[in-house]
Every structure is written in structure tokens, then in C-alpha cells.
Homo-oligomer: A and B are copies of this chain.
Amino acid sequence: MNNQPLHIIKVGGNIIDDEQKLQSFLNSFASFPGKKILVHGGGKLATKLAADLNIPQQMVDGRRITDTDTLRIVTMVYAGYINKNIVTILQSKGCSAIGLCGADANIIQAHKRVHPTLDYGFVGDVDNIDADRLSSLLESGLTVVMAPITHDGKGQLLNTNADTIAQEIAKAMSVHYKTTLIYCFEKAGVLMDAEDENTVIPMIDPAAFNKLKTEQKIFAGMIPKLENAFKALESGVNKVVIGNAEAWDTLISGKSGTTITLEL
């Protein structure tokens, strides 16, 4: 393991859908030194385009059922519009970004999801990340901007959850770097009371997590996110941080948000 730090940052719809917030976030992101990978989600643009084109959308547990028309839409919106806009904004701020999807350079190979009762369509679950290829792009001075589209190696593009992509990249890259995985979302961190932004839990280790679960002091929707964070840590990721991208400086320095670690 290399001890050079690498930050993998995931941003979602709350930033992407708001032009001002996006500009402000990319300002902070561009000026943040060191090796970094940005994984972006899709936001409302794909839903809006589907509505404009009269293509009905079906969501199950927050996942988009992806038929052929919907795959075309998310490929256009995620890997085209959002990805290239982020890249050109970063370039204008002096950050040499390269925008990719998982098919590019075969960086993320996935398979079409198999589910006993539900056909998710062209939704992909990640099989492999080419960490060597990603490293060589980073080492050549580039910042990678990753769209949540993967492929199966047989010519099929697949729609893949951006949180999962960020996590899989962080795990794979831990072979080469001291990896921090940062999930930017709309809340200030993991909250004791989902309605109160002042109840951020600054640090959670497995013991604290179990206590919070047992005492039901944690918002149910956060439990899978935290379980995934612990899995990432067990796979070699150094630190997982969950917090608000608008508080970037304090988030990145660990003064805001929730830090998830194996040992306090």
C-alpha cells in the first residue's frame, strides 16, 4: 500500500440540480490539492428529460428501472450532459479533469442485475474496477470525473448506482493509495434526529453504530449507508466521511460531517 492520499468524492442531485451550488462546490473541489476522483449521480435531469420525451419512469426503492429508452436517457444525461459540464467547469478553474464512464478504458465492469422477482432492466452491479488504469490517469496529473454508467464487457451499457461506484472505486484504489471516501449529501452528516441539522454525530465506530441501532437513535435510511461504509473500511478504505458539500472546507478537514472509522 502506497501512503499517498486519494480522495474519492461522491456528489448527488442536491448539488448537480442547482447551478449555483454546483459552481460553488466545483470551486472548492478544483482548489483542493492532491489526487482526487469525483463520482457524480444523476439528479432530476434524467427524470425531466424522460418526462419531456413521454417515457414513463418506474422507481423501486430509489432505483430507476432501466428499459432501453431509459438507458439511452441516462447515458445521454449522466455520461454526456452532466459529466462534460462538470469537466469543462473544472478545466476553467485550473483542474485538469477527464470525464469517463465505466466503459471507458474498461474502468468499471459490471453485470446486469439478477433479482428473483424484479427485472431492473439495464441496471448493473459492479464486478471489477481497473485500479491500475485509474492510478495511471491520476499519476499523469488528471482528476477523474466518473459518470454512473458501467458496461458488461459484451457491448451493453448499464445504469449503476453512483454511491456503489464511489465505494467500489475507493475499495479498489486502497491498494495504491491511502483512500478517503466522502459522500456529499443534503444533510450535515449522520443525524441523531433527522429533522435537526444540529444533531450531527461527529464520529461513528462499529461499537457506536451497534449502540445507535440498538437504541434506535439513528434514522433508518442511514443504516444501509453506514453498513456500506463499514464494508469499505474493512476492505482497506482509510476513512469514510458523510456530510454536506456546501461545508466543503470543514468537511474535508473533518470538522463537519460524520466520520466513520473502524477504531476511534
Determine the interface band of chain A, counting residues with CB < 8 A from chain B: 35 or more
The complex places the Cα of A105 from the Cα of B100 at a distance, in Å, of 11
Q: Report how far A94 CA is from B178 CA in the complex, Å.
A: 32
Say yes or no: is A39 at the interface (Cβ < 8 Å to chain B): no
The verdict on A88 contacting chain B, using a C-beta distance below 8 Å, is yes
Chain A 34-76 interface 0/1 with B at a Cβ cutoff of 8 Å (1 = within): 0000000000000000001100000000000000000010011
- A252 contacts the other chain (CB 8 A): no
Q: Of B77, B85, B89, B155, which is within 8 A of A88 by CB? A: B155
Interface residues of A in 94-140 (CB under 8 A from B): 96-101, 103-106, 136, 140
CB <8 Å contact, B81 and A76: yes
Are A151 and B75 in touch, CB under 8 angstroms?
no
Query: Which residues of B sit under 8 angstroms from A76, Cβ to Cβ?
Result: 76-77, 80-81
What residues make up the interface of A, taking CB atoms closer than 8 Å to B?
52-53, 72, 75-81, 83-85, 87-89, 91-93, 96-101, 103-106, 136, 140, 142, 149, 151, 153-157
Apart from A76-B77, A91-B155, 4 more pairs, CB < 8 Å? A79-B80, A79-B83, A84-B157, A88-B103
A-B contact pairs, 21 of them (CB 8 A): A53-B53, A75-B85, A76-B76, A76-B77, A76-B80, A76-B81, A77-B80, A80-B83, A84-B149, A87-B101, A88-B103, A88-B151, A88-B155, A88-B157, A91-B151, A93-B155, A99-B101, A99-B103, A99-B104, A105-B142, A136-B140
